[in-house]
Amino acid sequence: MLTNVLPLVVFTTCSGMAIGAYLVAALYGSAAGKAPKGGREFAFALTCLVLLGVGLCATLAHLGQPGRFMNGLSNPASMIAQEGYWSMAVGVLMLVDVIMVKVKGAPIAALRWAIAAVGIVLMCVTALAYYNATGIAVWHGVSTVFVIVIGDVLLGLALYLLFFGESSAQALKLGYAMAAVWAVALFAFVLHAQASGSDVTAASVCSGVLATAAPIAVGAFAAGGRLDAKKASYAMAALLLVGVIVARCAFFAAGVAA
């Protein structure tokens, strides 16, 4: 089972983190005129591009043979093809962003928004790919869309906080809000999974504690002056990352076992 689950977890985690981070960067970085310049921006853009590449390589590992990937791309209507096309589109835009940041020393707001927009489409396409797996009852529910999309935003927020969290109080506030939404999405998924004959309660509770209760507690400590912005950002990033990965493992394990 591990060989079937791991590539899916790596693909959705790495690609979701990359596109989610660009969405947060568009909201709170260069689009707001407050993006830190220089080497950190370049490292951020390059990291996102590498993560997307790792995710695509995991897709190849899941399919087993490159020929299957090419066969999937040959049918534009298939969800695999849609994932491939949108991934390549966002990858090209990310590469342009890496080059522009290296040359200019700062990102271009319009380009960041373009990457965020294409990334949102990719999030939705990925979520629908699993939702449309009608033969796997535990995935064929509306909660799947929210678990994937909100999870991608949280993963991206975690990466953004690692790079720029200490200079973006608004991003931390987004973390508190999204953590609460994540709890609702997990609860809905647990109910759907139980109705489908799968039990993901333990993993979902663990994910909820790590990615919901703990980040809110971090926010309380930060508001009370017990944690500075940098430590709070790192703590929230780690909690969100681990929490979402736990949920992803449970999600795919339930589907593969079905």
pLDDT value, residue 65: 52
**pLDDT tens sequence across 50-90:** 999 999 888 766 555 555 555 555 666 676 778 888 899 99
Q: Which two tokens stand for residue 141?
A: 């529910």
pTM above 0.75, yes or no: yes
Q: How far apart are CA 45 and CA 39, in angstroms?
A: 10
pLDDT surpasses 50 at 13: yes
Mean pLDDT over each residue of the chain, to the nearest integer: 85
Q: pLDDT value at position 38?
A: 57
In whole angstroms, give the CA distance from residue 133 to residue 140. Answer: 6
**Average pLDDT, integer, range 155-183:** 85
Domain spans in the chain, listed from the N-terminal domain onward = 2-257
Q: How far apart are CA 73 and CA 69, in angstroms?
A: 6
Q: pLDDT band for position 30 (50/70/90)?
A: very low
**Most confident of the ranges 51-60, 104-113, 143-152, 174-183:** 143-152
Q: What was the pLDDT predicted at 52? A: 96
Res. 29 pLDDT band, cuts 50 70 90: confident
pLDDT of 35 reads 46
- Range from 69-78, 147-156, 176-185 that averages highest in pLDDT: 147-156
pLDDT for 83 equals 83
Given this model, what pLDDT does residue 116 score? 96
Query: pLDDT per residue over 208-254, tens digit each?
Result: 888 888 888 887 777 777 878 788 888 889 999 999 999 999 999 99
Q: Is 105 left (phi over 0), alpha (psi -120 to 50) or beta?
A: left
pLDDT at 195 exceeding the cut of 80 = yes
Mean pLDDT for 178-188 is: 90
User: Given this model, what pLDDT does residue 37 score?
Assistant: 52
Give me the percent of the chain exceeding a pLDDT of 90: 49
**Does the structural domain 2-257 have CATH classification 1.20.1630.10?**
yes
